[in-house]
Amino acid sequence: MAASCVRTVGSFLGKCGNCSSSLNTVTSQLSRQVLSRQICVSTALKKNLAAGGPEKFTVEFIQKQVEEFDIGKRHLANMMGEDPENFTQEDIDRSIAYLFPSGLFEKKARPLMKLIFFPLHEAVQWGADGRPFHFLFYTGKQSYYSLMHKLYSKILNIEKHQDRMRAKGLFSQDTKEISLDTSRWLTKEELEVLLVETISSNNYDRFIQLMERLLSMPYCNMEEEFVLHYRRPLEARSKKQMVPVPERDDKGVAFSTSDGRRKTSNSSVVLRDCGSGRITVNGQEYLHYFPVLQDREQLMFPLQFMGLLGRFDLQCTVSGGGRSSQAGALRLAISRALLSFLSEGEQETMRQAGLLTPDPRVRERKKPGQEGARRKFTWKKR
Amino acid sequence: SQSSEKHLGQFYTLPSAHFRPLFPHGLPYRYQQQVKTFNEACFMVRPPALEVISYLKKADYSKPALRYLFYGVKGSGKTMSLCHAVHFCYTQGWVVLHIPDAHLWVKNCKELLPSSYNSARFDQPLQATTWLRNFRTTNEHLLSQIKTKRRYVWTKRESTDEGRPLGELVNQGISRVKSSSDVVGALMKDLRLQSSQPGADFRLVVAVDGVNALWGRSTIKKENKSVDLEELTLIHNLKKLMKNDWTGGAIITTLSQTGSLYTPKSAYLPQELLGETGFDSMDPFIPVSVPNYSEKEFESAYLYYLDRKWLQHPQSRTEDGKKELSFLSSKNPSMLDRICGFL
């Protein structure tokens, strides 16, 4: 049927209907007829476009958008009275926020003028004739399978090299090994990002198996660069507590500063090695600031635990929170400041006593449909 | 009481014969409970009290009366120092005019009568009678010796003639409740006049605790209108006493934030608590600061509690326990007392 063949041709072309320069692949006269037909079927194709999946953009389309963005940027710079040549993205953001003030709370919903580059897989993968560029396009995961192919070809190369060496009689087992200690394999998510397409966990396992097989062969250092491309360095995680460094002030007294936090209270403590046991909180006597015995006990606990009560002079500042949380914040700050005056074993005892752990308990949010965070409304049977 | 610098930090016991008459009122409540528990009253000899006592010993009593003011943070021992000085005066045979807490006279008054003497002022019969009773207990042996100098007319039928012993005046005030505040006023005036005279054989010590109440504000309301301090007879007479226009005695006072009205909790200096007028009227005075315990004093207090077996907890007897106590109480006498209370 004429109508149906028109539709099929149109759907074929509709996907590249946005592109203008892919015509160079098709040089026959058919193209002109196709073009002329394109105009009259464009309206009928709108439904098919939606069914085809996420909209795909060609490279040319992206380039055109970039040019339009530049022109718009220059217009904006002229409007704001600034230099169009040196108009950075920050300036754009500022100008847009000024010209279109928005009261929306969600930052991502506000007006935006930025080039968001489309991921590669949304670029169209086939030419104007509908023939895909990549030979593995119809596998669905073209970049993954092409990577596997490449890997396997490298393995074959190495085996060939091995055979050649054996033939010459220069085969040796102890070649330079690739150092793998300080790095780890890419995670599945990172590999997906690299390949710009989703892979299943089976695929990922196969990939790792192939890599391991490559590394198990003697002459793998030939492909060292290729392998290291797929490894990430391990961050050195220090398990030790950061101990504040004690300094000496002008009188030669060793002192250390540290902070502590507990449930919206922030505190900072300067611990001096004087010899008197005086404590100042926010400029006041601590007896006056903490009239309750419990708070003073909290302050006392780190010093008393180590038996160093009368030795230090404390100068504390604390803000936020309530009475108890301020006391807790100060306690944490004191124990951290004390670390620098203690030996390793004593630090370990403090850690085990729980003096160095910041208390993670924060006020829980009230949920809708409940009266408090946990309390439900009174249950009525009817 | 051989109080001198040698005895600094040590406790001396009050003979119980002195205790009952001297302190029917005037001691802090917690201390009174402690006296009842330990069955003895012990004072620690501390520098502020010693200083005042030494001045009292050396003062020239033909000059106008010297004013001493104890000030310090809450719970540092001002009232105790006052009582120590008062005890010293008592042993010397002076007449003691001890007002336990001037704040009691400006708040929580249940009865207010218009004064019979001056209709613009108000009387407080209840407080006046209690105070007269305590005054009588303290100064019993002296009251019979001192004679009135003027004639006082209370009502149409009642009057006290010249030359009668003061004891009669006091009894008059206690029995006739309505005129008790006027009796108080008359007593103060009489004593003041008499001690100023060169031939007097006694000296007068005026001890007021919480003197900043005299120049503060009052919470007493008369028909929903708050009463001004000038309109209270007791306060008026006391203020007249505070003026150092009389000789032959001393005025020892303390500041107190605990009972005072409308003052912030952190105020403890004389300027803050006395206010402008108070400072001007008290000026010139000798301020004596009462600090928290020093190391030595803390030690001695701790040993006293140990000795009385007040500290039962086994850890409180160790060195570490002592350090803990000193930290937690920050060497404040009242805090230490409170903490040791439940050990």
- At B70-128, the pLDDT tens digits run 888 888 888 888 888 888 888 888 888 888 888 887 777 777 777 766 667 777 888 88
Q: Which residue in A155, A150, A152, A148 sits closest to A199, CA to CA? A: A148
User: Which of the residues A287, A294, A308 would you substitute to probe the B interface, choosing the one with the greatest number of B C-beta atoms within 10 Å?
Assistant: A287
Calculate helix-pair angle for B47-58, B78-91, nearest 10 degrees: 30
Strand A265-272's sheet: what is its strand order?
A: A247-248, A254-262, A265-272, A313-319, A279-281, A284-285
Dist CA B216 CA B103 (whole Å): 9
- DSSP class of residue B103 equals G
User: Which of the residues B266, B323, B340 would you substitute to probe the A interface, choosing the one with the greatest number of A C-beta atoms within 10 Å?
Assistant: B323
- CB B300 within 8 Å of CB B43: no
Q: How many CB pairs under 8 A join A and B?
A: 39
Helix (H, G, I), strand (E, B) or coil at B328: helix
Dist CA B168 CA A378 (whole Å): 73
Residue of chain A nearest B339, judged by CA positions: A293
How high is the pLDDT of residue A28? 45
Cβ–Cβ of B332/A286 closer than 8 Å?
A: no
Kindly state the helix (H) or strand (E) to which residue A66 belongs, with its residue range: helix A59-80
How high is the pLDDT of residue A327? 92
Residues of B in contact with A296 (CB under 8 A): 327-328, 330
User: Which of the residues B265, B327, B342 would you substitute to probe the A interface, choosing the one with the greatest number of A C-beta atoms within 10 Å?
Assistant: B327
Cβ–Cβ of A287/B324 closer than 8 Å?
A: no
Specify the higher pLDDT residue, A228 or B153.
A228
Residues of A in contact with B339 (CB under 8 A): 293
Residues of A in contact with B72 (CB under 8 A): none
Phi and psi at residue B15, to the nearest 5°: -65, 140
Residues of B in contact with A300 (CB under 8 A): 324, 327-328
User: Which of B266, B327, B335 shows the shortest C-beta gap to A300?
Assistant: B327
- CB B107 within 8 Å of CB B216: no
Q: Is A37 exposed, middle or buried (0-12, 13-18, 19+ CB in 10 A)?
A: middle
Q: Which residues make beta-bridge pairs with A316?
A: A269, A281
Specify the higher pLDDT residue, B336 or B229.
B336
Q: How confident is the model at residue B43 (pLDDT cuts 50, 70, 90)?
A: confident
Dist CA B275 CA A184 (whole Å): 75
- Tell me how close the Cα of B38 comes to any Cα of chain A, in angstroms: 25
Kindly state the helix (H) or strand (E) to which residue B249 belongs, with its residue range: strand B249-254
Cβ–Cβ of B335/A287 closer than 8 Å?
A: yes
**Lowest mean per-residue pLDDT among A30-44, A171-185, B30-44, B173-187:** A30-44
Specify the higher pLDDT residue, B144 or A370.
A370
Q: What is the mean pLDDT of residues B280-286?
A: 79
How high is the pLDDT of residue A217? 82
Q: How many whole angstroms from its chain centre is CA A382?
A: 51
Cβ–Cβ of B327/A293 closer than 8 Å?
A: no
Query: Tens digit of pLDDT per residue, chain A (382 long)?
Result: 444 444 444 444 444 444 444 444 444 444 444 444 444 445 544 555 545 555 667 778 888 888 999 999 999 999 888 888 888 889 899 999 999 999 999 888 999 888 877 666 566 777 778 888 888 888 888 889 999 999 999 999 988 988 888 888 877 776 667 777 777 888 888 888 888 888 899 999 999 998 888 888 887 777 888 888 888 877 766 666 677 777 777 777 888 888 988 898 999 998 888 777 788 889 888 888 888 888 888 888 888 888 888 788 888 999 988 999 999 999 999 988 888 888 888 888 888 888 888 888 888 889 998 888 999 999 888 8
How high is the pLDDT of residue A236? 66
- CB B335 within 8 Å of CB A287: yes
ipTM: 0.78
Residues of chain A in Cβ contact (below 8 Å) with chain B: 277, 279, 284-288, 293, 296-297, 300, 303-304, 307, 309-310
Residues of A in contact with B323 (CB under 8 A): 277, 304, 309-310
User: Which of A285, A288, A300 shows the shortest C-beta gap to B328?
Assistant: A300
Q: Is A260 exposed, middle or buried (0-12, 13-18, 19+ CB in 10 A)?
A: buried
User: Which of B266, B332, B339 shows the shortest C-beta gap to A293?
Assistant: B339
Q: Which amino acid type is present at position A220?
A: C
Cα distances (angstroms) measured from residue B20 to each of A189, A335, B41, B132, B234: 88, 52, 10, 16, 25
DSSP codes joined into one string, B126-186: HHHHHHHHHHHHHTHHHHTT-B--S-EE-SSS-EE-TT-BHHHHHHHHHH-GGGHHHHHHH
User: Which of B327, B332, B339 shows the shortest C-beta gap to A277?
Assistant: B327
Dist CA A255 CA A244 (whole Å): 10
pLDDT exceeds cutoff 90 at B273: no
Phi and psi at residue A238, to the nearest 5°: -90, 125
How high is the pLDDT of residue A133? 84
Pseudo-torsion of CA A276, A279, A280, A281, nearest 10°?
A: 170
pLDDT exceeds cutoff 90 at B218: no
Q: What is the mean pLDDT of residues B312-330?
A: 84
